[in-house]
């Protein structure tokens, strides 16, 4: 009884801090084609893998999906940080029919591949699968591609990871369109909203190791970057 009580309290704490994260406003959110695609894939398949380089917007997109689905479909949003926390999610019963949307951000490590984290998830994927397959729980996972590639082959044998719909931000069909980049510039760093069309075109066609939203964020907060003007964004974008 005491153990159940502690488990419930831990889970409530996780739910409370997730809600706090969802209501914390960073800058305004710029809606994108990749966001709409991710939402469609998630509602169709009940799970989605969001990949993308650092600063491309994986965490922000994941949080956005949690916020939208908790409002529209009344799913309880839950951000878990370790495999061990999965068992805290209450089982569905006749009295408790709550549904969830769970996010595992940087699931295999944030800046580096973390083998112990992968081992934890490997032990848990088969336990997770029935509630994801039945859509009792929706699942959002994120990772930088250079991290996830290190374990992708060994994870293919798990039902959960097989045919997992995937959106890679700012790659292929999900590449940011010029209009989306312009909106991001205006939303994240309003001081640069007076960019000339040629400058925007240059920014939109260039590439960098850091994601475009993060470049805008850095530009907005750095006097030094602002003094270098568009040449900074041009190098970084
Ligand atoms: N669609 C968006 N609209 C507005 N701001 C955005 C959007 N996407 C990302 N950002 C902002 O850009 C910054 C980088 O985004 P985020 O932290 O989600 O990137 P990430 O891919 O998770 O990076 P990392 O791999 O380092 O964790 C954040 O400040 C975030 O709020
Ligand atoms: Mg992130």
Quick one: DSSP state of residue 177?
A: P
| Contact yes or no for 49/143 (Cβ under 8 A) | yes
Is pLDDT at 1 greater than 70 in this prediction?
Answer: no
Q: How far is the CA of 54 from the centre of ligand 2 (A)?
A: 7
Ligand 1 in reach of 54 Cβ (< 6 A): yes
Q: How far apart are CA 168 and CA 208, in angstroms?
A: 16
Instruction: Flag the least confident range among 57-66, 81-90, 91-100, 105-114.
Output: 91-100
Ligand 1 in reach of 51 Cβ (< 6 A): no
Q: How far apart are CA 45 and CA 135, in angstroms?
A: 8
Q: Report how far apart, in Å, the C-alpha atoms of 179 and of each of 136, 205, 210 are.
A: 37, 12, 19
Nearest CA to ligand 1 atom 1: 30
For residue 201, the model assigns a pLDDT of 67
For residue 5, the model assigns a pLDDT of 73
- Residue that the structure tokens 């889970």 belong to: 11
Q: Which atom of ligand 1 is nearest to the CA of 63?
A: 18
Q: What percent of the chain has pLDDT over 70?
A: 88
Q: How far apart are CA 151 and CA 134, in angstroms?
A: 26
| Contact yes or no for 140/42 (Cβ under 8 A) | yes
Among all bound ligands, the one having the nearest atom to the CA of 34 is 1
Q: Report how far apart, in Å, the C-alpha atoms of 180 and of each of 96, 144, 149, 200, 217 are.
A: 41, 22, 28, 11, 15
What is the set of domains in the chain, with CATH numbers?
2-174 (3.40.50.300), 178-236 (no CATH)
Ligand 1 in reach of 217 Cβ (< 6 A): yes
Among all bound ligands, the one having the nearest atom to the CA of 30 is 1
pTM for the structure as a whole: 0.92
Nearest CA to ligand 1 atom 9: 57
Ligand 1 in reach of 62 Cβ (< 6 A): no
Average pLDDT over residues 204-222: 80
Is pLDDT at 74 greater than 90 in this prediction?
Answer: no
**What are the residues whose beta carbon lies below 5 Å from ligand 2 (ion)?**
59
pLDDT tens sequence across 183-200: 888 888 876 556 666 776
Taking CA 118 as the corner, what is the angle to CA 4 and CA 82, rounded to the nearest 5 degrees? 30
Region of 50 (left: φ > 0; alpha: ψ -120 to 50; beta: rest) is beta
Is pLDDT at 168 greater than 90 in this prediction?
Answer: yes
Higher-scoring residue by pLDDT: 7, 133: 133
Higher-scoring residue by pLDDT: 190, 55: 55
Q: Which residues contact 19 (CB under 8 A, 6 or more apart)?
A: 77
Q: How far apart are CA 56 and CA 34, in angstroms?
A: 11
Among all bound ligands, the one having the nearest atom to the CA of 210 is 1
Q: How far is the CA of 92 from the centre of ligand 1 (A)?
A: 34
Q: How far is the CA of 58 from the centre of ligand 1 (A)?
A: 6
Is pLDDT at 100 greater than 80 in this prediction?
Answer: yes
Residue to mutate, 213, 221, 222, 233, ligand 1, most ligand atoms under 8 Å from C-beta: 213
| Contact yes or no for 65/177 (Cβ under 8 A) | no
Ligand 1 in reach of 181 Cβ (< 6 A): no
Other beta carbons less than 10 A from residue 54's beta carbon: 13
Q: How far apart are CA 52 and CA 64, in angstroms?
A: 16
Among all bound ligands, the one having the nearest atom to the CA of 58 is 1
Please compute, for residue 202, the number of CA atoms within 13 A of its CA located in the half-sphere on the CB side. Answer: 12
Q: How far apart are CA 86 and CA 78, in angstroms?
A: 10
Q: How far is the CA of 143 from the centre of ligand 1 (A)?
A: 13
Ligand 1 in reach of 211 Cβ (< 6 A): yes
């Amino acid at each position: 009884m005491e153990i159940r009580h502690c488990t419930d309290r831990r889970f409530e704490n996780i739910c409370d801090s997730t809600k706090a994260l969802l209501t914390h406003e960073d800058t305004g959110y710029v809606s994108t084609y990749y966001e709409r695609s991710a939402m469609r894939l998630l509602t169709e398949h009940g799970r989605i893998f969001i990949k993308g380089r650092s600063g491309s917007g994986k965490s922000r997109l994941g949080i956005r999906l949690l916020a939208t689905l908790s409002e529209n479909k009344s799913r309880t949003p839950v951000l878990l940080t370790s495999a061990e926390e999965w068992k805290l999610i209450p089982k569905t019963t006749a009295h408790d029919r709550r549904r969830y949307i769970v996010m595992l951000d940087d699931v295999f490590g944030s800046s580096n591949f973390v083998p112990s984290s992968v081992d934890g998830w490997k032990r848990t994927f088969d336990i997770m699968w029935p509630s994801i397959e039945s859509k009792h729980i929706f699942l959002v996972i994120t990772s930088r591609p250079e991290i996830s590639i290190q374990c992708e082959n060994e994870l293919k044998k798990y039902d959960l990871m097989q045919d997992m719909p995937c959106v890679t931000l700012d790659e292929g069909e999900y590449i940011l369109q010029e209009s989306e980049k312009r909106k991001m510039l205006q939303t994240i760093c309003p001081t640069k909203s007076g960019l000339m069309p040629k400058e925007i075109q240059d920014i939109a066609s260039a590439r960098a190791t850091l994601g475009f939203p993060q470049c805008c964020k850095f530009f907005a907060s750095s006097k030094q970057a602002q003094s270098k003007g568009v040449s900074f964004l041009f190098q970084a974008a």
